[in-house]
Amino acid sequence: MSALLSLRDIWVEYGDKIVLEKVDLDIAAGSFVSIVGPSGAGKSSLLRVILGQEAPTRGTILLDGTPLAPECGPDRGVVFQRYSVFPHLSALRNTVFGLECAQARFSARLFGKARRAALDEAAAMLAAVGLGDSLHLYPAQLSGGMQQRLAIAQALIKRPRILLLDEPFGALDPGIRSDMHALITQLWRDYSLTIIMVTHDIREAFTLGTRVLALDKRRHDPHAPHRFGATAVYDLHLKDRNDRAADEDKSITIDSIGNNEEDAA
């Protein structure tokens, strides 16, 4: 099967500091890829490169074999840990705004039949994320979990093929996080998404992912730590969309997948 998303020899450098080096990945459509690794391993940098928020210093990213557009298009949606919602707009207006920007690029306003259709679509999306009874509430009136549901609705309203999640549940209480796991799994299946998620939670990575990718440095120089960047040191393929079952007990820690023995002299 050909890859939906391909990364070829990706490097990310900031001045003389190398964050990522020699990252090569093929991600199949329908995958749920969890990205883990120690702090500073370039996880969020990799996500920003895929999103189009940042250009790699070197390398190529292909979507269906075609170079990825430098700006984020409707083929990619993103949800961050911090709630990226507009505080002055209701849940419905927050969600419909994405459709307005896509369909009326200059004015970001729809009228008449087009506006009614967009509002109906936004209401249906909010119902899909569990906010069907909260259409006219403002973010300040929503709990943290509800605000993250709203952020997910914003990301999905333009029907992206790829959903990028950057520590999306890290600020939530354990009980709410469990509910969000169930929601994102259901949306992944219902909308045939390809999901790439950055997380520090190893249990979360293995519970949700069909594939777990660990980023870390293969080479270390204690005298010049900036000389070497992180790359994919482990790439574990787990389960596919159809037979993935939630694993309730995982005895895996970051130490078991993130340590390396190759140090530069």
The 10 Å Cβ neighbour count of residue 193 is 22
Pairwise CA distance, residues 4 & 2, whole Å: 7
Lowest mean pLDDT among 78-82, 189-193, 256-260: 256-260
Percent of the chain with pLDDT over 70: 86
Closest CA to 226 of 40, 32, 84: 40
pLDDT at 51 over 80: yes
Q: What is the pTM of this model?
A: 0.85
pLDDT at 32 over 60: yes
Class of domain 1-75+160-265: alpha beta
Question: Mean per-residue pLDDT for 192-221?
Answer: 93
Running DSSP on this structure, what letter comes out for residue 195? Answer: E
Pairwise CA distance, residues 31 & 210, whole Å: 6
Q: Could you tell me the residue ranges of all domains in the chain?
A: 1-75+160-265, 84-159
The 10 Å Cβ neighbour count of residue 172 is 18
pLDDT digits (tens, 9 = 90+) for 210-228: 999 999 998 877 767 778 8
pLDDT of residue 107: 58
